[in-house]
Structure 1
Amino acid sequence: MNETPQITAASWLMVATLGLTWGGTFLVMEIALLGMTPFWLAAGRIGFAALLMLAIWGTMGRRLFKAPVARSGWAIVALIGALSSAVPFMLLAWGQQFVTSGFAGVSMAAVALIVLPLAHFLVPGERFTLRKGIGFVIGFIGVCILIGAQAFESSGIALEPAGRLACLSAAFCYATSSVLMRRLPQVDPIGLATVLLCIGAILVIPLAFIVEGMPSALDTRTLTAVVFLGLIPTAGASLLRVLVIRSAGPVFMSLTAYQVPVWSVVLGAAILGEPLPSSLLLAMALILCGVAIIQYGPLRRLFLRG
């Protein structure tokens, strides 16, 4: 796909929705992990989301690519399916046993670090300019301030360094799959989101059996959390993610990486009663400033049109 990214008001709305949705996901995962094992949590949310998307896709004729695709194209789709759901979901669920939900949310800021250089070399129209570099640095300083406020509080668990590495590795998976997704030929967004989730389910469910055995019975709270994770941040967000990347590009999509840490801290304070760091307002200001600089052109066109 070689078209120049098209960033519209709808693109901004979808990115804002994704930032809020994924920012709150870590709280729900923390609740779900109290009643089930991490690989089965990943399998449950992906499996539920895949079934839901299959039902929706079935009513629309099950279209995918608009022209025949070579085997290499299907191999890339399989890789994207692994890197966009199965692998990062397992890494996050496993890692969140040993780190705070704040750290898990903040680690997603690394997506923007990885996407910008990858897109510069691999995606037409996504050049790493001086302006983007300045905005990136300012936004990342805000993320660092946010990290310093709360996210690195130790849980006192020996495997915490491995948990941190797992969360950061999940960010690498998201960034790589975003860039690869943008390079696919013309494709139906709902079909692509469905196929990627199905690939994820095919990979993670057998692994859950191998690593953790049969799943245990779920209580109502855990089951509700899994259904929510499958419906909102997995099925719904996967579709929005495909729509944003395919239209506005992976660099624009990476702006969610700046929002997720803010929302994870804010929602943690509002819902779990966690202390609200005094540096949060400064961090948010820097993050939003960085986003505005990176996306100055689309913002200017948006406001002039409005």
Structure 2
Amino acid sequence: MPSPDRPGALNWALITLLGVIWGTAFMGVSLALDGFGPWWVTAGRTTLAAILLGGLAAATGQGVTHLSGGRAWAFSTAIGLGAIALPFSLLSWGLTQVPSAFAGVAMGAVPLLVLPLVAVFSPEEGIGPRRILGVGLGFVGLVILVGPGALDSGTLVGRMACIGAACCYAGGSVLTRRAPPMPPLGFAAATLIIASLALVPLALWQEGVPRMGSAPAMAALIYVALFPTALATFIRIRVITTAGSLFMSLTSYMVPVWAVLFGVTLMNEALPPQLFWALALILIGIGISQSRALSAMRRKS
């Protein structure tokens, strides 16, 4: 069975896939914003994802009705509100005040924020000098990638909103790890349903009833709902419950790299000259933090 010390090849593949999926989310959201307001993009992607996962969970016998007991629903509610609805809202507002580069740095701080939470609430994952050094190197690589000037950009409240979103994601990872055993599809669907119940009224309050956007904007919104929201939520829960929240947080270093690569190849953006130095530091950091797991995989092969 996978564990924080030995996450296994499947979990490595899943966090790599998550990096790719979340790396395309920036483009998808940008296209969706051409036809919808930011609050309806957030509420729309969450609601569509909740409908999809809810139906899929019911069809496979893992529906939300199988979440029995108040403890299961308490964790689902806390994660839905605190790790989906709240950070989505903070980022939607924060990105109106700061550049996306600063938001990328804030999201890259998730592994650093997860470290003390894991040490207190999930000690079985194991925290030591090796993992602390690896996480620190990865963060330095991320700062090099986006540029240190991003740290001084935007308003103070906008920066605090992005940092608050990162704190929500870190706390949500540990909460997911401590949640009672639940069907993974039903668990993911429940968190999204609860988040959508909070976000739709907020979108109505902020932007009123949405108007139908253009076909490209609608297609982008559906894409963001299906992959960076629905599929990613399910994968995230699977990885955290089997390999741990610290292992899952390594995705935060992969997402900006994929976002830059997609921007260069699909959007004709300029290749950052510091990309390869940053990528080297990120990969070294991941290698150091997961050296025991990588050694176990080599011995097994």
Superposed, 1:119-198 pairs within 5 Å as: 119-148=118-147, 160-198=155-193
Deviation at 1:202, TM superposition (A): 0.7
State the SS of the aligned residue for 2:22: helix
| Aligned counterparts of 2:149 and 2:159: Cα–Cα separation in 1 | 14
Deviation at 1:28, TM superposition (A): 1.5
User: Which structure 1 residue ranges, 5 or more long, are not aligned?
Assistant: none
With over 3 angstroms needed to count, the CA separation of the structure-2 counterparts of 1:252 and 1:7, relative to structure 1, is same
- Percent identity for Structure 1 against Structure 2: 40
| Aligned counterparts of 1:11 and 1:42: Cα–Cα separation in 2 | 27
Deviation at 1:23, TM superposition (A): 1.6
Deviation at 1:280, TM superposition (A): 1.1
Deviation at 1:124, TM superposition (A): 3.4
2:20 corresponds to: 20
With over 3 angstroms needed to count, the CA separation of the structure-2 counterparts of 1:151 and 1:267, relative to structure 1, is farther
Mean Cα deviation higher: 279-288 or 59-68? 59-68
> What is the count of residue pairs matched by the alignment?
299
Task: Tell me if structure 1 keeps the 8 A contact 2:141–2:278.
Answer: yes
The letter of the residue matching 1:287 is: I
Task: Tell me if structure 2 keeps the 8 A contact 1:138–1:287.
Answer: yes
1:223 corresponds to: 218
State the SS of the aligned residue for 2:123: coil
| Aligned counterparts of 2:250 and 2:58: Cα–Cα separation in 1 | 32
User: By percentage of residues, which structure has more helix?
Assistant: 2
1:303 corresponds to: 298
2:278 corresponds to: 283
Task: Tell me if structure 1 keeps the 8 A contact 2:58–2:64.
Answer: no
RMSD value over aligned CA atoms?
2.2
With over 3 angstroms needed to count, the CA separation of the structure-2 counterparts of 1:241 and 1:183, relative to structure 1, is same
| Aligned counterparts of 2:149 and 2:259: Cα–Cα separation in 1 | 11
User: Which structure 2 residue ranges, 5 or more long, are not aligned?
Assistant: none
Task: Tell me if structure 2 keeps the 8 A contact 1:102–1:261.
Answer: no
Deviation at 1:248, TM superposition (A): 0.3
- Indicate which of 266, 271, 280 corresponds to 1:271: 266
Task: Tell me if structure 2 keeps the 8 A contact 1:102–1:265.
Answer: no
Q: TM-score, normalised by structure 1?
A: 0.90
Deviation at 1:90, TM superposition (A): 2.2
Q: String of CA shifts for 1:9-56, please: whole Å, max 9, x gaps.
A: 000000001111112211221222222111111110001101111110
Task: Tell me if structure 2 keeps the 8 A contact 1:108–1:260.
Answer: no
Task: Tell me if structure 2 keeps the 8 A contact 1:77–1:196.
Answer: yes
1:84 corresponds to: 83
Deviation at 1:73, TM superposition (A): 4.6
Deviation at 1:97, TM superposition (A): 3.5
State the SS of the aligned residue for 2:270: coil
| Aligned counterparts of 2:169 and 2:94: Cα–Cα separation in 1 | 16
| Aligned counterparts of 2:254 and 2:29: Cα–Cα separation in 1 | 18
State the SS of the aligned residue for 1:108: helix
Mean Cα deviation higher: 254-263 or 57-66? 57-66
The letter of the residue matching 1:249 is: G
2:33 corresponds to: 33
Deviation at 1:256, TM superposition (A): 0.2
With over 3 angstroms needed to count, the CA separation of the structure-2 counterparts of 1:65 and 1:304, relative to structure 1, is farther
Deviation at 1:152, TM superposition (A): 6.1
1:262 corresponds to: 257
| Aligned counterparts of 1:124 and 1:4: Cα–Cα separation in 2 | 13
State the SS of the aligned residue for 1:216: coil
Q: String of CA shifts for 1:261-290, please: whole Å, max 9, x gaps.
A: 211222222222222221110110000100
